Amino acid sequence: MQITATDTALSNWTGDLLAVGIFEGETELAEDLAKLDEKLAGTISELIADEEFEGKPSTIISSRVGGKSSLRKIALVGLGKIEELNLDSWRSAAAAIARMVKKEKTVGISLPVGSESAETIAQAMTEAIILALHQDNRFKSEPEDKEPKLETVELIGLSGQEQAIAKGQTIAEGVIFARELVNAPANEVTPVTMAQTAQQLAQEYGLEVKILEQADCEQFEHGMGAYLGVGQASDIPPKFIHLTYKPAKTAKRKLAIVGKSVTFDSGGLNLKGSGSGIETMKMDMGGGAATLGAAKAIAQLKPDVEVHFICAATENMVSGKAMHPGDVLKASNGKTIEVNNTDAEGRLTLADALVYAEKLEVDAIVDLATLTGACIVALGNNIAGLWSTDDALAEEMKTAANLAGEKFWQLPMEEKYFEGLKSQIADMKNTGPRPGGSITAALFLKQFVKDTPWMHLDVAGPVWSDAPSGVNNKGATGFPVRTLVNWVNS
Residues at the interface with Zn ion (CB under 5 A): 262, 265, 284, 346
344 makes contact with ligand BES (CB under 6 A):
yes
Secondary structure of the chain as H, E, C letters: CEEEEECCCHHHCCEEEEEEEECCCCCCCCHHHHHHHHHCCCHHHHHHHHHCCCCCCCCEEEEECCCCCCEEEEEEEECCCHHHCCHHHHHHHHHHHHHHCCCCCEEEEECCCCCCCHHHHHHHHHHHHHHHHCCCCCCCCCCCCCCCCCCEEEEECCCCCHHHHHHHHHHHHHHHHHHHHHHCCCCCCCHHHHHHHHHHHHHHHCCEEEEECHHHHHHCCCCCHHHHHHHCCCCCCCEEEEEEECCCCCCCCEEEEEECEEEEECCCCCCCCCCCCHHHHHHHHHHHHHHHHHHHHHHHHCCCCEEEEEEEEEEECCCCCCCCCCCEEECCCCCEEECCCCCCCHHHHHHHHHHHHHCCCCCEEEEEECCCHHHHHHHCCCEEEEEECCHHHHHHHHHHHHHHCCEEEECCCCHHHHHHHCCCCCCEECCCCCCCHHHHHHHHHHCCCCCCCEEEEECCCCCEECCCCCCCCCEECCCCHHHHHHHHHC
The least distance separating Mn ion from the CB of residue 443, rounded to whole angstroms, comes to 17
The contact mask relative to Mn ion for 211-250 (x = CB under 5 A, - = no) is ----------------------------------------
437 makes contact with ligand BES (CB under 6 A):
yes
16 vs 20: CA distance, rounded Å: 13
- Among residues 431, 472, 483, 486, the one that binds ligand BES under rule CB under 6 A: 431
Sign, CA dihedral 337-339-342-343, equals: negative
**454 and 354 in contact (C-beta within 8 Å)?**
yes
Task: Kindly name the residue from 91, 99, 347, 482 that is annotated as catalytic.
Answer: 347
Stretch that binds ligand BES, among 21-29, 170-178, 219-227, 343-351 (CB under 6 A): 343-351
User: Of the two residues 344 and 484, which places its CB atom closer to Mn ion in the complex?
Assistant: 344
User: Of the two residues 16 and 343, which places its CB atom closer to Mn ion in the complex?
Assistant: 343
Size of the site for ligand BES (CB under 6 A): 16
User: Of the two residues 43 and 316, which places its CB atom closer to Mn ion in the complex?
Assistant: 316
The least distance separating Zn ion from the CB of residue 358, rounded to whole angstroms, comes to 23
User: Of the two residues 291 and 431, which places its CB atom closer to ligand BES in the complex?
Assistant: 431
325 makes contact with ligand BES (CB under 6 A):
no
368 makes contact with ligand BES (CB under 6 A):
no
Stretch that binds Mn ion, among 58-66, 304-312, 344-352, 461-469 (CB under 5 A): 344-352
Task: Kindly name the residue from 35, 105, 210, 272 that is annotated as catalytic.
Answer: 272
441 vs 215: CA distance, rounded Å: 28
User: Of the two residues 284 and 396, which places its CB atom closer to Zn ion in the complex?
Assistant: 284
The least distance separating Zn ion from the CB of residue 254, rounded to whole angstroms, comes to 29
Size of the site for Mn ion (CB under 5 A): 3
75 vs 298: CA distance, rounded Å: 36
407 belongs to the catalytic site: no
User: Of the two residues 267 and 453, which places its CB atom closer to Mn ion in the complex?
Assistant: 267
- Among residues 265, 315, 358, 406, the one that binds ligand BES under rule CB under 6 A: 265
422 belongs to the catalytic site: no
The least distance separating Mn ion from the CB of residue 344, rounded to whole angstroms, comes to 6
The least distance separating Zn ion from the CB of residue 471, rounded to whole angstroms, comes to 27
**259 and 369 in contact (C-beta within 8 Å)?**
yes
265 makes contact with Mn ion (CB under 5 A):
yes
What is the number of the residue whose Cβ is closest to ligand BES?
373
126 makes contact with ligand BES (CB under 6 A):
no
Contacts made by residues 410-416, CB under 8 angstroms, sequence distance 24+: 410/385, 410/386, 411/378, 411/385, 411/386, 411/387, 411/438, 411/439, 411/442, 412/387, 412/439, 413/387, 413/388, 413/389, 413/439, 413/442, 413/443, 413/446, 414/439, 414/443, 415/443
- Among residues 43, 372, 452, 483, the one that binds ligand BES under rule CB under 6 A: 372
- Among residues 277, 380, 412, 433, the one that binds ligand BES under rule CB under 6 A: 277
458 makes contact with Mn ion (CB under 5 A):
no
The least distance separating Zn ion from the CB of residue 373, rounded to whole angstroms, comes to 9
343 makes contact with Mn ion (CB under 5 A):
yes
358 makes contact with ligand BES (CB under 6 A):
no
The least distance separating ligand BES from the CB of residue 421, rounded to whole angstroms, comes to 11
Stretch that binds ligand BES, among 113-121, 194-202, 319-327, 342-350 (CB under 6 A): 342-350
User: Of the two residues 131 and 459, which places its CB atom closer to Zn ion in the complex?
Assistant: 459
Stretch that binds ligand BES, among 57-65, 221-229, 370-378, 411-419 (CB under 6 A): 370-378
The least distance separating Zn ion from the CB of residue 298, rounded to whole angstroms, comes to 26
The least distance separating Mn ion from the CB of residue 284, rounded to whole angstroms, comes to 7
Active site residues: 272, 347
Site for ligand BES, rule CB under 6 A: 265, 277, 284, 341, 343-346, 370-374, 431, 437, 460
Please report, as ranges, the residues that interact with Mn ion according to CB under 5 A.
Answer: 265, 343, 345
